[in-house]
Amino acid sequence: MTIARMCSPMRTWERPMDRCFRIFPCLADPGRRSSLCLKVALVTIHLVYAGVLFLFDGDLIEKTKKEPWYTALYLLLFVGTLIQYFATSLSSPGYVLDAMMTVHDRNVAYKKTPDTSSQSASSKNGSFVVSMEENLLGSSTISWSKLVSDLYPLGSSIRTWTCTYCNVEQPPRAKHCHDCDKCVLQFDHHCVWLGNCIGQGNHCKFWWYLFEETALCLWTGVLYISYLKDHITRIWWQDAILILLLITLSVWLIFLLLLLLFHRGIPERVHPFSRGVRKNLFYFCCTRSAVYRFEPLPTTQEIEEKSRPYTCSDALTCRCC
């Protein structure tokens, strides 16, 4: 009886949780539940910063009446930043398994269509486009293992590019994410705040989000400083709240700036996969996220060529572009 009484409160607590999990199955997964809590926390932080500003600063309300465009631009950036956050969080980073399925479906579609002998290296398959380097496809169909092996130098062992966790062949720059338990193309990192990996499929969206978030933090900081400059001695508890929020905002701003300026350290001037500034910007910002790009490892001669310092003749021949 004593044991039953001790266990009864736990059972009473588990019943509503079980009902909640049945209504919202995503909450049953601890990983998704923590990711959802982080998203709610981030949106709440944004609302607190903007809400406190409009609640305390009466001059901002008067300025809004006189110059509505100023506040409209701020609110537009505020909403756009949150939209970009969720767009990045919900986007696919480019999983290796999805690329494998796309290549497989493309081969199946080719075999069913007899008049496709002149099919190009970039072939549409639904909403996806499998894009490979020009010299990779000797025929119109190619297996995933053959495709990956052609991306590595001759003589490389299959063990060097096979994932030891999910047992799939990884193209160059792919890496297994232990948080998502999947291999990601051009894996950069797993963002805890987004609850998502950053890879080939959403790297551009991630950097646009960082840019918008940084701009929003800077603008909000300017508004906070302007208010404190004009009302620093009026109501002490309001000033204390705003100063505390401003200090926290400064920490977030430093963190965002470091993320924007962060890049992986490569010895000297060697950037093995660099195509030049112009092409790098094009592939990074203008290529659709549904395009799978498989880049072969550069040879030793190519790395030595890219590591050579730039000269005036290189600028004329657009080597650095």
* Residues belonging to the active site: 191
Enter the tokens of residue 116: 């496709």
What is the Cα–Cα distance from 286 to 280, expressed in whole angstroms? 10
Three-class SS of residue 125?
A: strand
| Euclidean distance between CA atoms 135 and 158, whole angstroms | 21
Q: How remote is the C-alpha of 209 from its chain's centroid? A: 9
Give 308's DSSP letter.
S
Instruction: Give the Å distances, CA to CA, from 134 to 71, 120, 125, 139.
Output: 50, 9, 18, 11
Record the tokens describing residue 294, joined without a space. 């498989």
Residue 116 DSSP label: -
Take residue 188 and report the two structure tokens written for it.
């950069």
CA-nearest of 180, 177, 165, 176 to 35 is 180
What's the DSSP call for residue 171? Answer: P
* Token pair of 253 as six digits: 């701003």
| Cβ count within 10 A of residue 249 | 18
Task: DSSP letter for 170, please.
Answer: P
